[in-house]
Structure 1
């Protein structure tokens, strides 16, 4: 056999077997299966390990995106509120979350949280009691309960990155109430997305100055002072204790976004 008119060199011809699996072409015999895809799908007597393989996980991830997009497609303008799942109901931060959720609802915003207890529940509760839409995007975890009872529209996810996409895609702002590692993760991911212009006109509010002041000062006096971030990056963070101020920041950013769309 020749390739582009030249004799093949280097030994024997490669095996001629070719197998098509959807868009994937397999050549040579080492990776062949003795059954077809339809057989493996329809034969319930086979092993169940396949449901834990990476190709199946891809379909599960796809299904989560489709389900999330479908459930949230008609959510009106919204604000995602992050905060600790460990805040008790008699804590002042819980009352702060209820007040904030109600104010956002009264301003015409749906409130999206992680759907858990603590300050997430508080924000959902405030929104619901004020007649707004209360949304919870839960996550499958071994140590937390399901969606809190104040969630009116809820979606549970297996994968953090799918859930984070929903937090971003269906909100026009983030407000971070006092929280732990999960809140920090969501906060800095949102900052990175705004800094790199993956999302625009997207304010990020740190609500509760006594809790967030140390972090804000470090960002300003260390990260910014040493040139790790610029002036515009520092300006992405808004630190406040005032509910009206937080809602005003959200409203102004949304109006600016509307003016360009």
Structure 2
């Protein structure tokens, strides 16, 4: 098999260059192990898990994979359980430090930290690094959730709490479980994946509804217009689903929306829970009186 090669320097730009070939990085992270040069495997752990293959050895190896998957959840839960209020920030790994979007992400991270929120990113370069930088320099908790890739980008220097994952689905669970909201800056396929997964979880009530903010009117406006017209007009989403996203160019507005919307949703959830408890108590009392 052909193995990927790496050279020092160069954090990569989201994984692949314009020719689709994995870009060179600073090594290959496999759980706690860092591999370089000829030690880099030809497949990631996710690839091996999802490979159909005809080899019957999977009957014997998959139960052990389950144990590894379980360990990732245990380690993630253990590392993040006490971070408190947090917001996940997503965006492109390709964004350079001199790009205006980078400055926006730094400001988002700073404002979140000053408001008492931990900042969770994928731990890589670009927008992720920028949000971590803003949080770190403001004295906040700056969290990076890394992922095993053959073009390892490395955890950016502004992360002060980092967790590396082999499996995307374990990592994505952490983004949702420990966040009170999402702020999404311009990004590519990975950012789209994270955004639409969060939307789907909220829409289907798989998670308690939390605020979702898109930063960048020019970048996201066309997508939202397509959803409002082509998608909603065909009945593929409900009109109310369009209200799940808030669009702005302002980092301050994005952070304020997350804070205020989050508080409103939390209050609504508490009221609903109190009503449920009261209904259950009334029903129990009625049953007792009837007997």
Which TM-score band applies after superposition, normalised by the shorter structure? 0.7 to 0.9
**Quick check: 199-208 or 187-196, which moved more?**
199-208
The answer for the alignment partner of 1:80 in structure 2 is: 88
C-alpha separation in 2, matches of 1:144 and 1:84: 15
Check if 1:231 corresponds to 2:231. no
Find the counterpart in structure 2 of residue 137 from structure 1: 145
**RMSD, aligned CA:** 1.6
The alpha-carbon deviation at position 221 of structure 1 amounts to 1.2
Aligned residues: 213
Equivalent residue in structure 1 for 2:217, among 183, 199, 209: 209
Please give the alpha-carbon distance, in whole angstroms, between the structure 1 residues aligned to 2:78 and 2:265.
Answer: 24
Alpha-carbon distance in 1 for matches of 2:133, 2:176 = 21
User: What TM-score results when the alignment is normalised by the length of structure 2?
Assistant: 0.71
* 1:7 paired residue number: none
Which of the pair has the greater relative contact order for Cα pairs under 8 Å at 6+ separation? Answer: 2
Which stretches in structure 2 are left out of the alignment for 5+ residues? 1-56, 271-291
Alignment partner of 1:57 is 2:65: yes
Displacement after TM superposition at 1:144 (Å): 3.3
Q: In the alignment, which residue of structure 2 is the partner of 1:172?
A: 180
Alpha-carbon shift at residue 225 of structure 1 (Å): 1.6
Alpha-carbon distance, 1:257 to partner:
3.6
Q: Is the 8 A contact 1:206 1:237 kept in 2?
A: yes
Q: Give the C-alpha shift of residue 231 in structure 1.
A: 1.6
**TM-superposed deviation, 1:68:** 0.1
Do the aligned partners of 1:140 and 1:157 also contact (CA within 8 Å) in 2? yes
Post-superposition offset of 1:171: 0.1
TM-score, normalising length from structure 1?
Answer: 0.79
Query: Does structure 1 conserve the Cα–Cα contact (< 8 Å) formed by 2:211 and 2:262?
Result: no
Between the aligned partners of 2:258 and 2:209, the Cα distance in structure 1 is 10
Aligned with residue 190 of structure 2, among 173, 177, 182? 182
Q: Does the Cα contact within 8 Å between 1:136 and 1:154 map onto a contact in 2?
A: yes
Structure 2 match to 1:220: 228
Instruction: Identify which range, 71-80 or 242-251, moves more after superposition.
Output: 242-251
Deviation track 1:132-165 (CA, whole Å, cap 9, x = no partner) reads 1100000001123111000000000000000010
Q: Which has the larger radius of gyration?
A: 1
